[in-house]
Structure formats: C-alpha cells, structure tokens
Structure 1
Amino acid sequence: MSLGKHSGKSLKLFRTLWGVPFPDKSTQWTSFLKSEVIDKGFEGIECCSPGPFFSFASDPSALKLVLQESNCKIIFQAHTTDYPVMTSSWTEHAASLRQKLEEIVALGVSPEVVNVHAGKDSMSTGDIVEFLKAARKSESEVLHQAAFSPQPSSSSGPCLAFETHRQRLFHSPFQVLDVYKQLPEADRAWLKLNADLSHFVVSLERFPTAELDAEFWPHTLRILEDHCVYIHARACSAQAIQIAAFPNASADANDDAKVMVSWWKRIVEGMRRRNVEVRVCPEYGPPPYQPVDAVTGQPIGDLDALVLEGARRLRAQL
C-alpha cells in the first residue's frame, strides 16, 4: 500500500520502527527501508538510538550509506535515564541526555530531529527549567558540533524536541504552562516540542475544550503552535492511549478523531507560519499501547494496517 504524495504543502511522514520487525544484518537494511518505508509513502523512520542499528556497530559509516541509498530520513529517540526506572534528579537526566547525544553523533548520521523523552513527572518546575538549560547546552556542544551539522548552532541542523508524554517532564498541559512561564526568554525561544496529544487526553480523561478548559487549553495549544517541530499523531480515546482501528463515519468515536485532527491542523499551521518543516509520525505501537483481548491477551486489530491507514489519512488531512 502506497500513501501517494501530498498535492499541497510539504509534509514529511515518518514511520516508527516500534513494533516493526527489522533486519538483524546490516546488508538487509537498504531493501528493508525501501520496501517497508519509502515504497509505502513515508519519507523516513523514527527509532531509538542506537536501537535497531546494532548490526552496524563494527562499521557505523555503513548506516549513513544505507540511508542515502534508500533516500530515507531519520529521527532518533532519546530516553533520559531509560525505562522503567527513572530518577527525579535533573542532573542525572541532563548527564543521560548528553551521553545519548554522544552515542547518536557516533553513528555519523544526521537526524532531522532528536525526539526526547525527558525527565520525570515528579520533578519540580524549577528543576525542569534547570534541566532544559543543560539540554540546550548539550545540543549546542554535542549535536551542533558534530561533523554532520551544517555549522555550529545552525538553525538548519538537527535539534532536540521534547515530547509531551506521560511519566515525563511534559506529562500534562498544566506542566507545559508552568514550565513555560518560568523559562527565561532566551530558553523559551530555543524550546522545541513534539506534540503527542494522546498523552494529554488520557491523563485528563477527557478531550479538553476551549470553553470548558479555558484556563489552560487555549494557552497550551498556542505554545504547541509556536514551538512544535514534530507531531506524534496517534488517535486515542479518553480512556485508551491508542485505538484498535479507525472508526467508520457513523461511529460516535469519529467525533474524537475529528477533534484530534483539528488540533494537529492547528499545530501544522503554526509550523508553516514559522517556516518549520512539517514532520508527522502516525505513532501506533504494539501492546501495551495496542488494545488486547481480555481473555486471550492477543492484540486486537492489525498494527501495520493501522499505521498505514493513519498515514494515509494524515497525508490527506494535513
């Protein structure tokens, strides 16, 4: 299934490798990327670093060649202090991020974005501000000094994007607002985000509205419009982080899907106003995100079909 090409403004779709069987030999990666990513209408992949690229450990330069041969872009994920155990120490998260950026640079591949699962939800706002200052320094000293960057601190080089994600420092819209208010102006201007709004919906147990949540939701959306460089576009419900399949036109759940699309459109419009490349990932993953049968424990629905249908819809909607 190919998604076709967007006939309007530029849109880059990235396919997550989360839940996707990938090659265990470096020689198989070019054909894999062409058949499972490029030929299916995506411009690139998103994956953890070094994640699936263990087979390139003896020759990192081969990874760069594979991406060039397949014309495939890449976004790396970096999880500070990893899962499932995370510390509340901002200094440990800052050190972890710097180490992960050094690992990314060692691969010799220029990512479009480094998507960061950063910090912990129990961190104080003040500690988050300090962490972000340290992250900015690491971006400048590690990522922007890499040989693949156009020039030090270039605006066209790779950047950090902090994901809105449960457990992490931007786990709720309230936290986004609180941190934003306390950030110094220069750090506000630098801040870049990845909007995964499904985490907000599930943490709130509702789809927030401008009318009923006027004290925070319009302000949060404006921050996302002004600072997002990436979107994880995953449809959800108020109680489940991921749908099993897209609802048909007559289903009640279709209203929820329309709300999420309206939010994504606003953020994309903000990107285009700022002349930021529009990068979107239909980030649907395996269990525990994918619903399972309560009796058999088997996944409900076809994950690959869900990803491809999500991408097709995004191509048409955005």
Structure 2
Amino acid sequence: MKIKFYAPAWGNMLPFDTFCKNVKEVGYDGVEMALPLEVKKKQEILDIFKQYDLEFIGQYYQSFERDLDEHAENYEKYLRHLSSANPVFINCQSGKDYFSFEQNKRLFEVAARISKETGVKIIHETHRGKSLFAAHITQHYLTQISDLRITLDISHWCNVHESLLADQPEAVELALSHTDHIHTRIGHIEGPQVNDPRAPEWKETFETHLLWWDKIVEIHRKNGTQLTMNTEFGPATYMPVLPYTQQPVASQWEINVFMLNLLKKRYE
C-alpha cells in the first residue's frame, strides 16, 4: 500500500501554475481544493493539473446556510460541480454543529446518492462548526451510519475538547477505523494548529498525533486499501501571527513540506 500525499491550495498566494510546479517538484501526488463555479476558471485549473500530472481531491466547505432546504440545495449543487471534474474523491465539511442528527443525516444521504449516481467517492471531514465537530458526536454518527467514511482532522477535536482525547479512547478508535483520508495538521488543547510542529515544546502533542496516524496506516496496510494524506497546515491567521503586524510566526509552505517529508519517511 502506497500512501498518496496532497498539498492544500488553501493559503496559496502564487500564480496557480507556479504553485502547481512547486507542488510537483517537492514530491506531492496532487492538490486538494475547491473549484470555482465559473466554467472557464474551473477548466484552467484542471488543465494545469494535467500539465503537471497532479491528481485532484475535491474540497467542499461552503456549509453556510441556516435553512436546511436551502443548505441541502447548495450542498448538492457544489457536490455535482466537483463530481463533474472527476476527482480522486470529494472531501466534505458536511452539515452544521447546530443541526440535529436527522438534519445532518439528510445531508449524508444526499452525498451518498450523488456518489452512487456519479461513481465519485464522497467522504466527510471532522471539522469544528460542522456535523462531525466533536469525538463523541462523531461516535454517534458512525454507530448509526455504519458505512460513513471520513477525513480525520483530529486537530479540531483536540481544540474542541481541550485535550489530547485520552478520556475518549472508544470514540477515537472508532473514528480511526472509518478514516480514508487524513489532514495531517497538529492541533493542541487550545487551538487547531500549533505554531510550528518542529518546535520542541510540541513533542508530546506531535507524537500523539503520529500514533493516531500510525494506527490508520496499519489498518489500510492490513486491508490493502488506499490511504491519502493532506499536509494541511493553514495560512495566517489560522497560522498564529504576531500582534500589530499580523505577520505569521512561521512559513506555511515550509511546514507543509516538512510534514510531507517526515510522513513519507515514516510510512514508506
């Protein structure tokens, strides 16, 4: 089983062609991102992916509408839009944390229907503010919807629960067993992203995340299934910044390449 690695387009300020050239040169397999609804701009992005032989993971995050009917309508619009680009799969920040189980379940059912119709796999991300925002909530969803597959961004849960989740082993283990894609950001008990994972003060936190990811890798190796990772450290102000100047305290690109190289060495 060969793990594939994807770069986040989130935070990129370079011309997209230059960004993709850099992504290819450092050894990523592709890019994870949303696509513009405008047909010409969408095709330009897909053409650049083809030029650099980069794969594409579709990303959905536009869960903004409070009214469920309007929300579901836009959810379906975006998922069909991404599906038409023939991505490796679509990663969704589905639903809202204030929607009920039945309301979010309706959205999961929309995604399952679109996936069946298009043949494009759709999975759902553990993300603050969305349906799978907390470990115990996700445990309930995974228990009730046994075929739900997820993107694990466990950094959010560290933040939500203000812990490294030692008191929720059952919820974490269940999530690991349902994970097909990992966002390899390091979260901590007061935030979803450490300032720099290379700093020694984050050693315990970093190692805790690695042990979670190790278990997922082992599950996929045992099953002979594909696992993917996105080194999704984000830009300012997700990246901590200095007061007054708002300058980021570290380089997003350098950290993501550091994570890429570390994880390739660890798992290959």
TM-score by length of 1: 0.77
> How many Å separate the matches in 2 of 1:115 and 1:175?
19
Q: SS of the counterpart of 1:181? A: helix
Residue 96, structure 1, aligned to residue 110, structure 2: no
**What whole-Å deviation, never above 9, does each CA across 1:176-210 have from its counterpart, x for those lacking one?**
11222333xxxx22x1100000000000111011x
Residue 306, structure 1, aligned to residue 247, structure 2: no
- Counterpart pick for 2:102 among 119, 126, 132: 126
Question: Structure 2: where are the runs of 5+ without partners?
Answer: none
Give the letter aligned to residue 36 of structure 2.
Answer: P
Q: SS of the counterpart of 1:140? A: helix
After TM superposition, the structure 1 stretch with the greater mean CA deviation from structure 2, 123-132 or 232-241, is 123-132
Are 1:225 and 1:268, in contact at CA under 8 Å, matched by a contact in 2? no
Q: How far has the Cα of 1:65 moved from its partner? A: 4.3
Q: Any residues of structure 2 matched to 1:1-318 within 5 Å, and which?
A: 9-23=1-15, 29=17, 32-33=19-20, 35-50=21-36, 57=40, 60=43, 63-82=45-64, 86-87=65-66, 89=68, 91-106=69-84, 109-141=85-117, 143-144=118-119, 158-183=120-145, 188-189=146-147, 191-209=148-166, 213=167, 217-248=168-199, 251-318=200-267
TM-score by length of 2: 0.91
**Which consecutive segments of 4 or more residues in structure 1 shift more than 4 A?**
62-65
> How many Å separate the matches in 1 of 2:95 and 2:177?
22
**What whole-Å deviation, never above 9, does each CA across 1:287-314 have from its counterpart, x for those lacking one?**
2210011232221111111111111111
Asked which structure has the greater CA Rg, the reply is 1
> How many Å separate the matches in 2 of 1:32 and 1:302?
15
> How many Å separate the matches in 1 of 2:246 and 2:41?
39
Q: How far has the Cα of 1:69 moved from its partner? A: 3.0
Give the letter aligned to residue 222 of structure 1.
Answer: E
Do the aligned partners of residues 16 and 130 (structure 1) sit closer, same or farther apart at CA in structure 2, a change above 3 Å counting?
same
> How many Å separate the matches in 1 of 2:105 and 2:96?
13
Q: How many residues align?
A: 267
Q: SS of the counterpart of 2:5? A: strand
Are 2:59 and 2:90, in contact at CA under 8 Å, matched by a contact in 1? yes
Q: What is the root-mean-square deviation in Å for CA atoms of aligned residues?
A: 2.2
Q: How far has the Cα of 1:230 moved from its partner? A: 0.5
**What whole-Å deviation, never above 9, does each CA across 1:106-157 have from its counterpart, x for those lacking one?**
4xx321121101110011122222321222112222x32xxxxxxxxxxxxx
> How many Å separate the matches in 1 of 2:29 and 2:72?
31
> How many Å separate the matches in 2 of 1:204 and 1:110?
36
